[in-house]
Structure 1
């Protein structure tokens, strides 16, 4: 059975001789680059292209086209090669960006056989080059990871980010490859000529984060979902250093999913210490025309021997919201790093204890002479000492992170803040859409009271699925079914209200499908406030009408974008962002409606139509594999605290706790009153 991957997700390969199949909506140039343990290529010789097709164990296509096949023998790539990345580039003369063509599809398959894993690269817009996927070696075994990292700056930006900048990249542009109208390669025009240096443009602002935990990429019932990547590096608290998360976890893609950098565990040091871990996100690149980023602020420590006091906004960025967003990301990274380092140290101490005990017991003379007891005591003491040292470092870092969280949390804007925060009272009308949205909190068992906001970038790159079923969730199994379903719908309404509240008036339209009317109690505040685009759709007819309208909007906006006239839309098309909330799926859905829903999930985010589903996956099982890609494309959230998310780098099992308005609080109603008032004022 083929594993349908989502961005940031990984999958083990059952064989080392494979072929990679590429299909795209336009002619593309297919390349491959090999890298070492850190992912860095050795130089231009690590890049396979139509003019130099073969590397050890690897051969790439020799022409431009919309269908390609790579052959890969992972046993023959060499011991120094730990990564093989597949690159796709739009050549000159065709579409200028991947957002204007059908999403590329990449599959890793048995030679001339069935596909082992497949990935459709969705969510692309202005990018003209991308890293589609990578094969990577982990502990002697090979895996495939869906990357989907795009570059608006084209092949030059991609090669520069891969470490092949400047002269090393000359001759590798599509023009230097001598493409003919038929897509053939003129080999005489390959590197060696006077090709221009490739431009080094910035990444797309919505590059995906791996992956996401190997991290919510992860992120048993569902693989973990990847979290959105920060827009700039974190300059806050440092922490010691962190995927194959638990099979029961959903992948995060980040604390809140763009493509994230993968974490690599280093080998043990010469002194026999535990492995070190590099846990870093890709950094945002600036062109020379951009102004320098403001320097982060710090406060001196009260005691020179102590670390500096934390400061809210102590991260790089162009605005306070961006700096706070990056600081939250940095806190997530630091917590993941320090816990991974502690767990790695404990694992190392336990394995060393086992080896030393085995050695002590393997000598019969030592057992008879009584020296084995002393050796065991010494080994256990060494283990306890190492664990104590690791715990001391962990406690130090957790204390610093706790102090930072206490400073950052009160400073967060409404889009990032808890519903209980004072910032929700006396809020003014926002002038622009937010950078990100808070979905809940993330924590680890080493310090459960330290909760990091889970932020997702806006516009939503992928839809949300609030699971109102009990399968696969220990917390949900303890709840009554009716209470669980009500909690899931209340959570969906809270997300919809937050989105409306942090957007300018009339910048977001919310549609609701509640075919059986089972969510009426939760939806009542939205209906009373009159902030929905239309009354909740009921019955099969309402489902069909709502999906037809949104599908038509997606088609018209796509056509306008392809024509280069994004504003040239019929007057009845709402230019605002659209959010569709679907309750009790698949009640009221037929096969055609299911197909439309899948289309909206795949194509909608790129043109401003976003999906929020409240559903039980088991209830949709009647549609079989037809819905599997839909479930995998959504980020699964739980309406009750549950450890179902994993990050793509270290695959910790993160506990997710939804953020809901406090019981007996009127904050939700007050927010809806302000939204309704803002809309009335905007329409006068």
Structure 2
């Protein structure tokens, strides 16, 4: 049975050798682009076009044609290639918009020609280049994803979106289009051309039969990237979550850790998906591999739910259309003598239910695989990424180096509320955090008592500060607290009792002014030292550690000067190691008017109660964020802070 994919939907690839058939209705150029795990093209050599040798496992693309058959030997593909996409380009001299043409049809079949997935790339308009679909590695196995991403800027825009510099993308696009315009046999040695008996009646080379070690011939292939980057602020105003991190560049003196062995298939189902393995993503360390694996789970859940929702929307719209057609036909209206009206409506509803059931089956399959992966990955996470109830928090020593990211909570979608994806924020913090203790705009917060909500927000801030201290080497972070009214003393008790604060919580207007003045001075001095190229010449009384400022109950105790200093710290502090964590109700700060709007926009809002307000960077789902807090009655937070305090005392001796 062939799976009819919709945009974003994926499907397992059950064969090691596959053929992708493209039917475009007009002459198109089919190219092969090979990308890494992040979907980035590493350079010009990643794009196979008619003027380049065929890469391993993939045949050389052919000249523009209405139909292409692309063969891929997945076992022969280079190990550094993680994504292979099918890319279609309108060549010069013909139509320049896919929107004026029939929707290209893409199908993928295994050995013997048995088709197992297809995709109609519809909804195109001014695009002249598009990513039709991609084959990608996931947990040691291959999958196919329907992409359908078009580019009005043509091949140049597509290559630039794949990570190539603009000038390099333009030059490569020009080279590929020029090569496609030349005769296929131009410039090749005569001895390498097929013999006449190897050509079909139209004079085209007949497809070769690959040997066991030969790459399967490919007459075109793809871009291996995800659709273009999501905007920082979607149209509906929800801030996006960005799990991406700068990829570490390898130097000649470094070598990556060996990648984990490919996961074996489940013993219960040898032909099914491979058993998940913690840390099977790429990375220089196990922590980075786990971080990237969480990133992959996040993307997979976003896309598989998007595919399901798209399929349901399609089924509903088709049902509406068929019901309208039935009502517009006098023979099918209610009360028709032969009862055909009711039959037509029931048939339409049955088709709709069948489509939804098929989409739900695919979703359930993907959710089961992601759940199994989560059950393996979650226990293997290091303390910086782990839940507070993970045994990794009970014992262990203070780390010798800082982590790649910090867990802020969990993310889930309504289709699978039990599947929690860790929300990891990259370190160092390049964006401050704002824990919202207000009730406006949150249905969950509206049901809570105001005092309980404020206490929950401050407990969340203390948990984040404690985690930050516990996962860094002793003395790497200093934590300051502004509690002008002294209302957070109960929540701050664990930090105060452990003696891990840089100074007692600042109270009153004088305490606010003194704390802000010291941190502002630090930012100024470090910036001047860095600009002068003399970071070692800082005053001896300056704390070299990174600083975290926790502000409770803002704007109580703040005057205009203090507000200006706070904005300065939010804007300039992260670049020199001064970070902001605010616990505040935005409505209470409205007296300052638009003066504080830039401050709120620069901070990542978090909620102390489960709430839907964050969007992913791929398909813009509204995700439910749930904070990760120590279990009720557990001493895990106090034990973690005690270890921090002991490590600090040991370093001072």
- Match among 525, 529, 533 for residue 502 of structure 2: 533
Whether the 8 Å CA contact 1:469–1:617 is kept in 2: the answer is yes
2:444/2:611 contact within 8 Å kept = yes
Checking the alignment, whether the CA contact within 8 Å between 1:231 and 1:322 is kept in structure 2 is no
Contact in 2 for aligned 1:225/1:635 (Cα 8 Å) = no
* Deviation per residue, 1:141-160 (Å, 9 max, x gap): 9xxxxxxx999xxxx96337
Does residue 362 (structure 1) correspond to residue 362 (structure 2)? The answer is no
Q: Does 1:322 align with 2:288?
A: yes
Whether 1:428 and 2:397 are equivalent positions in the alignment is: yes
Is residue 524 of structure 2 the alignment partner of residue 555 of structure 1?
yes
Whether contact under 8 Å (1:225, 1:636) holds in the other structure is no
Cα distance, 1:293–1:333 mapped onto 2, change above 3 Å = farther
Q: CA deviation at 1:287?
A: 7.3
The alpha-carbon distance between structure 1 residues 408 and 542, as it changes in their structure 2 partners (threshold 3 A), is: same
Flag the 1:444–1:560 CA change in 2: closer, same or farther, 3 A: same
Please state whether the residue corresponding to 1:434 is helix, strand or coil.
coil
Secondary structure of 2:399's aligned partner: coil
C-alpha separation between the residues in 2 aligned to 1:594 and 1:404? 46
1:25-424 → structure 2 map (5 Å cutoff)? 79-80=126-127, 158-159=165-166, 218=234, 223-230=238-245, 291=255, 294-301=258-265, 302=267, 303-367=269-333, 368=336, 370-424=339-393
Q: 1:382: how far off? A: 1.1
Q: Secondary structure at the match of 2:549?
A: strand
Distance 1:383 1:618, change over 3 A: same
Cα offset for 1:649?
2.2
User: Aligned in 2, Cα 1:514/1:618: closer, same or farther, shift over 3 Å?
Assistant: same
Match of 2:444 in 1: 475
| CA spacing shift, 1:608–1:161, aligned 2, 3 Å | farther
Partner of 1:206: none
Retained in 2: the 8 A contact 1:298–1:310? no
What SS class does the counterpart of residue 416 from structure 2 fall into? coil
Quick one: distance in 2 between partners of 1:140 and 1:291? 37
Q: Could you say what secondary structure the match of 2:320 adopts? A: helix
Rate the CA distance shift 1:163–1:42 in 2: closer, same or farther, 3 A: farther
Q: Distance in 1 between matches of 2:595 and 2:169?
A: 37
- Deviations along 1:98-120, whole A, 9 cap, x unmatched? xxxxxxxxxxxxxxxxxxxxxxx
Output the CA distance in 1 between the equivalents of 2:398 and 2:292.
Answer: 24
**1:470 is paired with a residue of what secondary structure?**
coil
* CA shift digits 1:149-193 (9 cap, x unpaired): 999xxxx96337857569989xxxxxxxxxxxxxxxxxxxxxxxx
Largest Rg, 1 or 2: 2
Distance 1:371 1:293 in 2: 68
Match of 1:580 in 2: 549
* Contact 1:230–1:326 (Cα < 8 Å) also in 2: no
After superposition, the Cα gap between the structure-2 partners of 1:307 and 1:230, relative to the gap in structure 1 and judged at 3 Å, is farther
**TM-score between the two structures when normalised by the length of structure 1:** 0.62
Aligned equivalents of 1:390, 1:167: Cα separation in 2: 41
In structure 1, the residue matched to 2:433 is: 464
The gaps in structure 2 that reach 5 residues or longer are: 1-84, 93-124, 131-148, 153-159, 177-226
Q: Is the 8 A contact 1:510 1:581 kept in 2?
A: yes
1:567 is paired with a residue whose SS is: helix
Shift of 1:644: 1.8
Distance 1:411 1:219, change over 3 A: farther
1:581 and 1:612 in contact (8 A); partners too: yes
Which 5+ residue runs of structure 1 have no aligned equivalent?
A: 1-37, 46-77, 84-137, 142-148, 170-208, 233-283
Q: Structure 1 residues 524-533 or 320-329, which shifts more? A: 524-533
CA contact (8 A) 1:461 1:605 kept: yes
Deviation at 1:623, TM superposition (A): 0.7
Distance 2:175 2:256 in 1: 27
Aligned pair count reads: 455
Q: Match of 2:537, SS?
A: coil
Whether the aligned pair in 2 keeps the contact of 1:230 and 1:325 (CA below 8 Å) is: no
Alpha-carbon distance change, 427 to 345 in structure 1, aligned in 2, over 3 angstroms: same
Q: Find the aligned partners of 1:407 and 1:548 in 2 and give their Cα distance.
A: 47
Distance 1:545 1:656, change over 3 A: same
Deviation for aligned residue 1:228: 2.8
In structure 2, distance between residues paired with 1:611 and 1:483: 23
SS of residue in 1 equivalent to 2:408: strand
| 1:340 Cα deviation after fit | 0.6
- 2 CA distance for matches of 1:396 and 1:535? 53
Aligned Cα root-mean-square deviation (Å) = 3.3
Cα deviation digits, residues 319-371 of structure 1 (max 9, x gap) = 00000000011111111111111011000110111111111211223334643
